[in-house]
């Protein structure tokens, strides 16, 4: 596959497959995702658009990481030290937990990984065994990236001596799949997502205030939270990508409430909304500052402040022209900075040593 390069080891020239192994979670089914994209069901050909990444012209190959936990993972890490000479050029893992498994399986000469969740676990408490294990593996990467600028110094401080280069990688979405849509005539407030740093209590409190002030507004929330939604709010547990895209198009404003965090929780929904030309009202966190310009492409409110979140949403609902303008500016910002194609190009530059 592709061209080959040489690695000298013990006086012997070893030939390396010129391919880029991109590791995905066990059960991800990248081939199925690719078929779904061709049928218009998914954004990007591969998750996160990683099929566009290129490390010195190497051919990207999707690899499904084995599901390893506990003692099995420790045994695999110990065994990885005894792997025969490595024969693949480069390997990539999107986030740090996946990097652990990549490290046990890949024989790539260079390995790269994202650090997304770990920074939220490192505040004022002793490191756990997993953190020490992660640090051990991440120090052996050829390069790391984070999805917010705030995380970069935190990762460098955490890993300390021997830290590989750490870069800020702006996240991106498929701006063709999430295309701009005409602003709706019927008012609808929408919220989606449920990662570990979402704040359903604040979200539901804000939505209750919106419904009370504007009973004519339809409110829909995609969430798996066990909290009961307030009266007048329809909660759905799951939406396909196509259904999600349609909901953005119907939305007048998109709300995202999160706990304080550095990894920009909610950035995917915010960027998908902005790509659809919809205004976003969101919790202000250090990480999300990289993506939303407060008062220009969206509104940012303090964590836990349901009154401010409701007030910002009601202002947009009462000013259709202004809300449409915010949405258009958000779309422009996505096109200029936050598409998956731009993210893949930046990630390629990081892996090729062209940016720090």
Condensed to tens digits (0 to 9), the pLDDT of residues 254-297 reads: 999 999 999 999 999 999 999 999 999 999 999 898 999 999 99
159 shares a domain with 38:
yes
Residue 178 located in a structural domain: no
**Who contacts 316 (Cβ-Cβ below 8 Å, separation ≥6)?**
252, 253, 279, 281, 299, 322, 323, 326
Examine the domain organization and report whether 151 and 28 are in the same domain: yes
| DSSP three-state, residue 45 | coil
CA distances to 122, 160, 235, 259, 265 from 286, rounded to whole Å, are 15, 22, 29, 11, 10
Give pLDDT, residue 3. Answer: 36
160 contacts: CB under 8 Å, gap ≥ 6: none
Residue 356, in any domain of the structure = no
Query: Which residues, other chains included, contact 180 with Cβ-Cβ below 8 Å and sequence gap of 6+?
Result: 275, 276, 277, 327, 328, 331
What average pLDDT does the chain have? 89
Question: Smallest Cα–Cα separation from 181: which of 277, 297, 324?
Answer: 277
Statement to judge: residues 205 and 166 lie in one domain: no
pTM over 0.85: yes
Nearest to 145 by CA among 162, 161, 164, 168: 168
d(CA 339, CA 204): 30
Q: Which whole-number Å values give the CA distances from 312 to 83, 121, 148, 283, in the listed order?
A: 56, 31, 25, 11
Q: Among 130-134, 311-315, 348-352, which stretch is predicted with the lowest mean pLDDT?
A: 130-134
353 pLDDT tier (thresholds 50, 70, 90): confident
Q: Give the pLDDT score at 59.
A: 84
The pLDDT tens digits for 75-118 are 656 665 555 555 568 999 999 999 998 998 888 889 999 999 88
What is the predicted pLDDT for the residue at 5?
Answer: 37
What is the rounded CA–CA span in Å between residue 223 and residue 199?
11
Lowest mean pLDDT among 82-86, 169-173, 181-185, 338-342: 82-86
| Same-domain check for residues 220 and 161 | no
Looking at the structure, tell me whether residues 151 and 216 fall in a common domain: no
Statement to judge: residues 319 and 343 lie in one domain: no
In a domain, 148, yes or no: yes
Same domain membership, residue 32 and residue 138: yes
One-character DSSP codes across 222-245: E---SSPPPTTEEEES---HHHHH
Q: Band of the pLDDT at 179, cuts 50, 70, 90?
A: very high
Q: Let me know whether 325 and 347 are in one domain.
A: no
Decide: 61 and 92 in contact? Cβ < 8 Å: no
Q: Which single residue is written with the structure tokens 């909660």?
A: 235
Is residue 182 a part of any domain in this protein?
no
Lowest mean per-residue pLDDT among 9-18, 38-47, 305-314: 9-18
Q: Return the percentage of the chain with pLDDT > 90, whole number.
A: 72
CA distance 261 to 150: 10
Q: Is residue 180 part of a domain?
A: no
Please, what sign has the CA dihedral across residues 71, 74, 76, 82?
Answer: negative
> How do residues 121-138 score in pLDDT, each as one tens digit?
776 566 677 788 889 999
The torsion angle over the Cα atoms of residues 173, 181, 253 and 148, rounded to 10 degrees, is 20
Helix 306-318 to helix 200-213 angle (10° resolution) is: 40
Is 28 within a domain?
yes
331 within some domain? yes
Residue 10: the pLDDT is 33
Average pLDDT in the 186-200 region? 94
pLDDT at 131: 82
> What's the domain range around 287?
188-337
Compute CA distances 69 → 168, 275, 343, whole Å.
Answer: 29, 38, 30
Q: What is the CA radius of gyration of the chain?
A: 22
Looking at the domain assignment, is residue 75 inside a domain? yes
Residue 7 has pLDDT above 70, yes or no: no
The pLDDT assigned to 82 comes to 53
Best CA proximity match to 275, nearest among 190, 170, 174 = 174
Same domain, 164 and 204: no
* Residue 164 and residue 192 in one domain: no
Q: 221-261 pLDDT, tens per residue?
A: 999 899 999 999 999 999 999 999 999 999 999 999 999 99
User: Which CATH number belongs to the domain containing residue 152 in this structure?
Assistant: 3.40.50
CATH number at residue 331: 3.40.50.2000
* Shared-domain flag, residues 197 and 77: no
On whether the CB atoms of residues 356 and 165 are closer than 8 A, the answer is yes
Residue 166, pLDDT > 60, answer: yes
pLDDT value at 1 more than 60: no
pLDDT at 336 exceeding the cut of 70: yes
Q: Are residues 17 and 148 in the same domain?
A: yes
Domain count, the chain: 2
């Amino acid at each position: 596959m592709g061209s080959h390069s040489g690695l000298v080891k013990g006086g012997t020239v070893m030939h390396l497959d010129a391919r880029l192994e991109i590791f995905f979670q066990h059960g991800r089914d990248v081939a199925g995702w690719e078929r779904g994209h061709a049928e218009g069901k998914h954004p990007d050909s591969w998750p996160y658009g990683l099929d566009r990444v290129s490390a010195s012209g190497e051919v990207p190959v999707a690899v499904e990481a084995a599901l390893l936990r506990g003692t099995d993972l420790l045994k695999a890490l110990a065994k990885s030290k005894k792997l025969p000479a490595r024969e693949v050029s480069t390997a990539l893992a999107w986030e740090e937990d996946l990097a652990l498994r990549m490290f046990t399986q890949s024989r790539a000469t260079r390995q790269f990984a994202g650090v997304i969740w770990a920074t939220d676990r490192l505040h004022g408490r002793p490191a756990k065994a997993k953190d020490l294990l992660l640090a051990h593996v991440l120090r052996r990467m050829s390069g790391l990236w984070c999805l917010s600028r705030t995380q970069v110094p935190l990762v460098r401080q955490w890993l300390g001596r021997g830290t590989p280069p750490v870069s800020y990688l702006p996240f991106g979405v498929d701006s063709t799949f999430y295309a701009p849509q005409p602003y709706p005539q019927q008012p609808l407030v929408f919220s989606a997502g449920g990662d570990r740093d979402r704040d359903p209590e604040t979200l539901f409190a804000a939505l209750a205030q919106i419904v009370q002030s504007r009973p004519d507004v339809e409110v829909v929330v995609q969430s798996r939270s066990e909290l009961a939604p307030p009266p007048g709010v329809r909660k759905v547990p799951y939406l396909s990508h196509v259904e999600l895209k349609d909901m953005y198009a119907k939305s007048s404003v998109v709300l995202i409430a999160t706990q304080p965090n550095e990894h920009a929780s909610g950035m995917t929904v915010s960027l998908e909304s902005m790509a659809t030309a919809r205004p976003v009202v969101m919790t202000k966190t250090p990480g999300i500052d990289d993506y939303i310009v407060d008062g220009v492409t969206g509104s940012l409110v303090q964590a836990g402040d349901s009154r401010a979140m409701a007030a910002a949403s009601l202002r947009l609902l009462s000013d259709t022209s202004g809300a449409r303008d915010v949405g258009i500016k958000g779309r422009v910002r996505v096109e200029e900075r936050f598409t998956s194609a731009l993210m893949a190009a930046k990630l390629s530059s990081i892996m090729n040593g062209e940016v720090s």
